[in-house]
Each structure stands twice: as C-alpha cells, then as structure tokens.
Structure 1
Amino acid sequence: MSHSRTSHTVENNGTTADEDSARWNTLLDGLGVERLTDEFLARVLRMPHYEDGRLPATELRRTGEQSFEALIDSLRSADASGTPADPDELRDAKLGIATDVGVSRARADIPVDALMTAIRLDFSVLWEALMDLSTAADAPLLVARANSVWHVVDAYASQTQGAYIAERQRMATEASSVRQGLVATLFGDTPAPGTVIDRAAAALGLPVDARLSVAVAAGEDAAALRVSIALAARRGAEVFTHPFADALLAFWPADNRPGSALHEAGERIAALRCGLVEEVHGLAGLHDAGELALELAQLATDSDATALRLHTAWARLAASRLATDGIRLAADVEAALAGCGTVERERLVETARAYLETGSVAEAAARLYCHRNTLMNRMHRFTALTGVDLSIPRQAARLVVAWA
C-alpha cells in the first residue's frame, strides 16, 4: 500500500522535503545573475557566429541577465521531479525573454544550431555555479535536482527556438514581399528609376548589368511555364516571376554553359508556347522586354509549338500593331483577288505564300508539287491582278506582314 509524501517525509539523504526545498532555495539565492552572465559571455563570445560581433556584447549581456533571472525563478518553483509550477507571471516572463532572444538572434542572422548551443551553455554555467556553492552534504540534493535544471533550461531553449523559427519565417515573408514589390515596379506602367533598379538588383542578388532572358506565357500555357520554373528550382537555380492579369512572366540570368541548371531551364522554356526575349542587357531593359514578351505570347496560336521570338514572329507582331491602328496593309490585294474564281484565288494565294516563305521558285514549286514554269506563270498572274511583284522585296514585305 502506497502513501503520498508530506512535507515532513524523510528523503533518502535523511532530510525532509521541506529541508531539501529550503536548502535548494538557499543555493539558488547564492547564484549571482551578474556573475553567471559574465561566465556565459566569456564562453559564448568565443563561439562561431558570436565572436564576430554581429551581436553587440551589451545585447548579449542584457538578454543573458534576463534569461538567468527567469531560469532561476523557474528553478525555485520546480519540484524535485523537474516540473516547474510555472504560474502565469513566471511563464509569461520566461516566454517573454525567450521570444526576445529568438527574435533578436534571427534578425542578427545567427544560425539556429549556434543559437541552441549558446542557450544550452546556460545549463553548464548554472550547474557549475551550483556545484561551487554546494558542499559534500548537498550531493544527494544536486542529484535529485539535476533533472529540474535540465528540464527548465530545455524548456527555455524550445521556447526560444520556436520564436526564432517564427521570426525567420516572418523575415522570409517580408523579404519575399519586398522583392516582389520591387519586381512589380520593374514591370510597371513606366520604366523604373535608377534607384529602384539598384534596389531590385540587390534584392534579387543580380548585377545591375546582368544579361537576362524574359519569357511570358499566357492563359493555359502559363501552367507549363510554372513547371519549368519548379524544375529549375529543384536544381537550385532561381527563375524570377511576375504575374500579369492572364499571364505569367519569368526572367532569369542568361547562362550559356551547357548542362547548367539555368541553361537547361532556358532551353526548356524555349520549347514552350510563349513569348521569349533573349539577351536583355541589364535590369533596366526588363520593362521593355517584358512588354514585348507579353505581346508575343498573346500572338501565339494553337499551331505554335515553341516560343515566339522577335526574329521569327516580327511580321505577326507588325501586323497586330498595324491592325490596332486600323491599317490594313493588303486591303487592295484582297480586293483584287476577290474578283477571281475560288479555285484560281486559292492557287494564287498558296503560290504567293510558298514563294514568300522560301524566296525560291524551285523550292516553292517543289512544295506545291508543280513545275517551276507553272509557278512562275501564277506569280506573273498574281502581279497582273494585284500590282505586287513578289520578286521585289519591298513589295513582297507588305504581304509578308499582312499575311503573317
């Protein structure tokens, strides 16, 4: 049959619980917060990430003193099993300093491993100080209370770690928000001023004059672009993004090294249906490049299997811009051909297109499976009807753009 202990129960060392508690508090009273902090600083300032001065000694002393005060108060209220009573005021005080330390170390960019090592120095410093204050007769008491000391320090370390991680997450969110804001400014309605470009370069970790590539995928094509961005990220390469209303813009530093993550990302994106502008010179060029890439992406059709670049889609781009201004380049040609029969009109148009695409009578004839003389006769007929000589580049260019 078991009996619960009372405050007068005799412990293994021949003392009562009240006597042990009184002696324990006497030892705790002998702990000087200032001396504990001095010893802590002597050790922590020799540790990596603390010895370089990123945290001033005054800050370490301030938080060190508050930490030891909170720890001693927790030890005073803990029972022999190591479980603190931790009333609300004490818990709030300990949580407050844990949060203070966690936040300040996160902002000082102290690695979490270094932070945990430093905090657990508190146990060594406290325990050694208690040993110095104790006598041989206190040995059973120290053994009984060792778990209490470790429990209190470990709980404090866990609270500090939680505050640290939460602050690092906030910092990451803030940095991402600031960076995305700067990126948005680069692609705003007007080009960004030089000061903003400098800040964006620093936030993105890019040289101001970096060579860049820009791609925009519109509508459903944006999903494939996101996959390419994710694949690059898995290889440790960052492709920066900016959302438009119904499109996604991506840009990245040009990398011509075969096999590199960014080089492969560029090749993968070039194989998508999107607008692509390469060899952008510096962040100042991103604004215009982004507008061009967006315009190219919006010109893509189901027949396009790869990226539209300026040198391959310039005619389509020109036709779109002229149409926006209400200019129909081939209105007279279309009117002239409208007077032909359906079969003749189709043959003349396919002849003109084949020649415009190849620039060669022989190649155009082979493409249309007809004799070269037949093709030349159709070209002459086309000229007679429309007044456009397909063999003269200046005249042909009008149809190249109009029919793009």
Structure 2
Amino acid sequence: MGGRRLRTGHDWKLLAESCTALLERVPELVDEHLRQLAEHSPVYAGVLASDLQWREAEEAIRIGIETLSAPRESPRRDLEHAEDLGRHRAQQGLPLDLLVHAYRNAGYLVWDALVESAAGREPERLAALMRSATVVWSAVDAQTQTASEAYRATEAELRRRTDEQLQALLDALLEGQATPGLAARAAAGLDLPEHGPYAVVVLRAVRRDAHGQPLRGAGFRFIWRMRADCEIGVVALTPGQGLDGVAQALDGRCSGPGGISPVVPGLAELGRARRLAELALRTCPPDATEVVRLDQRMPTALVVSQPELADRLVSDVFGELLALEPADRAVLLETLDVWLTCEGSAGRAAGRLYCHRNTVFNRLRRLEQLTSRSLARPRDLIEMTLALDAYRLSGARR
C-alpha cells in the first residue's frame, strides 16, 4: 500500500501508530477482502487456489500497511511486491481489470479500518488521519499502476512467445515436416480445422492493404509468413470458395506477381502446396504483376521445373532467331506472343500491335523459316509455345 509519506510532524507519527495497530487485524481484513472479491467475480475463485490466494493477499496487505508507517528512506517493498504480483497474475491469466479491482478493494478496506480505529478515539487522531488521506490513496494508486505495468509487459511477452511458437508450427508445416501431431497442434493453436480445403499463396513482393496491414481478402482468411524474398500466405477456404476468388482478392495489391497452389485437403499438405505455389510463381516473368494459379499454367510450369531442358528447348527451337539483332528478335517474338494470346487471329493481333494483318502474317512466316517449324502443325506449335515461355522466363535474362 506504500506511497509518498508525511515527511515530518505529528500527523506522520499518528499515522504510523494507527498503521502499526492495524497490523493485528490483517487476517480479518484478508478474510473480508477475499469474500468481497468472490462476490464481485467468480473468476477469482476459478483462477486462484484459495489457500495460495489468502497468503498472497495477506502478504500484500501487510506489506502495504508496513510501508505506510516505514521511514521515508526505506525501500519500496510494496512496489516490488506489486510488480511481482502483476507478472504472476498475467501468467495465471487473471484479467487485468480484476487485478486493478483487487488493489482498489484492498485500499478501501485498509482506509476504512484506519478511519474506524480513529473514530472512537481523540478527535486529533481522526483529523490527522483525514489529512493523511492523500498519502494513503497515492500509495494505492502507485501500487495499482506498478502492478498494471508489470501485468501488461508480461502479457505482451507471453503473447510474443505464443506467436513465435505458432509461427514455428506454421513454418514446420510449410516446410513439409512430417512430425507426428504437428498438424493437430497447429490447428489448435491457429484455431483452424486440421482437415479441410487449403491453398498456399507465394508472393514475390509484400502485399499490404491501404492501411499498411497484411492483406485480408474479402471473405478469405489469410495467415501470412514473411521471407527474405517473398511472402507466403495460407488460405483457409470454406465451402463455396474457390481459387478464382483468392486470385481476385490478391490481384493488383502489390507491384510483384504471385502464385497460387491447387487446393489441398488439410494442414499436413501445406508443404506440398507451398512448393506448387512457388512453381506457379516461377511461371511469371520478372516484370509481371498478376497472381496466377498453377492449374492454369501447367505447360509453363513443366518448362520452368526443368531449367536445363528449357534452355535446350530454347536453343533447339529459336537457335537462328537468337542470332538476330535484339530489336529484330524482340519484334518477332512479340508478334508470336500476341498472336497466341489472340488465339491465332492475325486481325486481332494486328490491332494490338498497331500494324496491318499482312505484317503479322509476314512476321509469322519469317518465324517459321528461322525455326524450321510450321505454326499449322500442332506439335510444332506446342514446341514454339513452350520455347517462347522458356525464353521469356529464362532466356530473356541472358
């Protein structure tokens, strides 16, 4: 109960005498204090064992009363005890408002007992006690503040440790660790179903919403983990939610591209989903900004998953083309890319390229001559399409 003391004078002497006499009534005060706390909230009885709670309350009240009557230079035992108790209550899970209420309630009981002891005696003692009210209540305020600060600091530390533990569980799942019970522990800690539809998103650049917070797609629950060169998100899907909605929620929210895995049936499959999402991301050119689904980029994914074969494909298909001047080569490859995007329509491709459709035909014929392949033959068309993907994703950086 300590606080700033009366420095000199008769008031200090009378307050010290009253406090010393009150120490004999501490057991009585503790019993009443615990009774009132139990009436205020059943949480006290649920969190704290009765015997331990009684001893802790007795120690706190006794130290508080002794501090009020101690010399000014004495160590602040009351604040040291309040700090320890604040940490302890946070570890026990007692709500902070109940901790504050307990200190206030004890303060009222001590003050009422001091007034009661002085009321039946000489008026001088009661008057001195009234002049000491500020000292008593400043002490209660100081103890309450110290306990609250210690509580908040401990609560923050406990939350940080819990977050780190949950992040470690999530990291282990994303790494594909097969530790027994890992998925169940992660499900309990993250409040997620162990079994159910999930997808993983890998983003090359950090995606934030307008307020700088991790992205939260409408109707989707994302759990994010930061990496040095990307951000990984676990998406918990519900019935009716599909990957198109995930892509729409993510698209256009950052400057870099992203990859979305196929749906997997539970947390234990997140490692595989992460690898597939990374593969989807690798199908995006360096300057891309779109978020792509692996199941819609399978041919390109096959190319990027075999870089040595992809380089050989580029050399075999575009060998003579690669010997052209860069500007000339770029025009021909852009024409092929746009023509493929326009589903083989020279007229639509010409509109996008701002040239005549005959120009498109001429460029395509030149491509056929340089590659010794025909765009009219399905197998040749597949080779040229895959070679174009491989070139854009790897050969363009040569």
Asked if Structure 1 and Structure 2 have the same fold, meaning a TM-score greater than 0.5 normalized by the shorter chain, the answer is yes
Task: Classify 1:328/1:266 alpha carbon distance in 2 versus 1 (closer, same or farther; 3 Å).
Answer: closer
**Equivalent pair of 1:102/1:163 in contact (CA under 8 Å):** yes
Amino acid at match of 2:234: F
Structure with bigger RCO (C-alpha 8 Å, 6+ apart):
2
Task: Classify 1:140/1:118 alpha carbon distance in 2 versus 1 (closer, same or farther; 3 Å).
Answer: same
**1:270 corresponds to:** 251
Amino acid at match of 1:63: E
Within 5 A, what are the aligned runs for 1:171-250?
171-188=158-175, 190-218=176-204, 221-222=205-206, 224-225=207-208, 230=213, 232=215, 239-250=222-233
**Equivalent pair of 1:116/1:157 in contact (CA under 8 Å):** yes
Selected match of 1:315 from 280, 286, 299: 299
Q: Which runs of 5+ in 2 are unaligned?
A: 1-5, 351-355, 390-398
**Equivalent pair of 2:44/2:94 in contact (CA under 8 Å):** no
**1:367 corresponds to:** 349
In structure 2, distance between residues paired with 1:317 and 1:159: 59
**1:162 corresponds to:** 149
- CA positional deviation for 1:230: 0.5
DSSP 3-state at the match of 2:164: helix
In structure 2, distance between residues paired with 1:237 and 1:142: 62
TM-score (norm 2): 0.75
Selected match of 1:63 from 39, 42, 56: 56
Task: Classify 1:157/1:327 alpha carbon distance in 2 versus 1 (closer, same or farther; 3 Å).
Answer: same
- CA positional deviation for 1:202: 2.1
1:136-179 Cα distance to aligned partner (Å, 9 max, x none): 43432332333332222222111111111110111122112212
- CA positional deviation for 1:119: 1.2
DSSP 3-state at the match of 2:290: coil
- CA positional deviation for 1:121: 0.5
Selected match of 1:301 from 272, 278, 285: 285
DSSP 3-state at the match of 1:30: helix
Task: Classify 1:304/1:378 alpha carbon distance in 2 versus 1 (closer, same or farther; 3 Å).
Answer: closer
**1:122 corresponds to:** 106
Q: Percent identity?
A: 21
In structure 1, distance between residues paired with 2:329 and 2:134: 97
**Equivalent pair of 2:200/2:273 in contact (CA under 8 Å):** yes
For the pair 1:87 / 2:74, whether they are aligned, the reply is: yes
**2:97 corresponds to:** 113
In structure 2, distance between residues paired with 1:6 and 1:303: 74
**1:133 corresponds to:** 117
Within 5 A, what are the aligned runs for 1:378-397?
382=368, 386=372, 390-392=376-378, 394-397=379-382
- CA positional deviation for 1:182: 1.6
DSSP 3-state at the match of 1:77: coil
**Equivalent pair of 2:282/2:304 in contact (CA under 8 Å):** no
**1:12 corresponds to:** none
**Equivalent pair of 1:389/1:396 in contact (CA under 8 Å):** yes
In structure 1, distance between residues paired with 2:59 and 2:96: 20
**1:149 corresponds to:** 136
Task: Classify 1:104/1:402 alpha carbon distance in 2 versus 1 (closer, same or farther; 3 Å).
Answer: same
**2:39 corresponds to:** 46
Task: Classify 1:177/1:227 alpha carbon distance in 2 versus 1 (closer, same or farther; 3 Å).
Answer: farther
**Equivalent pair of 2:373/2:380 in contact (CA under 8 Å):** no
Task: Classify 1:350/1:169 alpha carbon distance in 2 versus 1 (closer, same or farther; 3 Å).
Answer: closer
In structure 2, distance between residues paired with 1:381 and 1:236: 47
**1:291 corresponds to:** 275
**Equivalent pair of 1:336/1:386 in contact (CA under 8 Å):** no
Amino acid at match of 1:67: A
- CA positional deviation for 1:18: 8.0
- CA positional deviation for 1:336: 7.4
**Equivalent pair of 1:332/1:386 in contact (CA under 8 Å):** no
**Equivalent pair of 2:29/2:110 in contact (CA under 8 Å):** yes
Q: Which runs of 5+ in 1 are unaligned?
A: 10-15, 79-84
**Equivalent pair of 1:217/1:275 in contact (CA under 8 Å):** yes
Selected match of 2:22 from 11, 17, 28: 28
**Equivalent pair of 2:199/2:237 in contact (CA under 8 Å):** yes
Task: Classify 1:24/1:344 alpha carbon distance in 2 versus 1 (closer, same or farther; 3 Å).
Answer: closer
The Cα RMSD (Å) is 4.3
In structure 2, distance between residues paired with 1:309 and 1:297: 9
1:302-350 Cα distance to aligned partner (Å, 9 max, x none): 5423213214433332222222356623544335778999999999867
Amino acid at match of 2:147: T
TM-score (norm 1): 0.74
For the pair 1:402 / 2:383, whether they are aligned, the reply is: no
- CA positional deviation for 1:239: 3.9
**Equivalent pair of 2:187/2:193 in contact (CA under 8 Å):** yes
Aligned residues: 371
DSSP 3-state at the match of 1:45: helix
**Equivalent pair of 1:211/1:254 in contact (CA under 8 Å):** yes
In structure 2, distance between residues paired with 1:150 and 1:235: 51
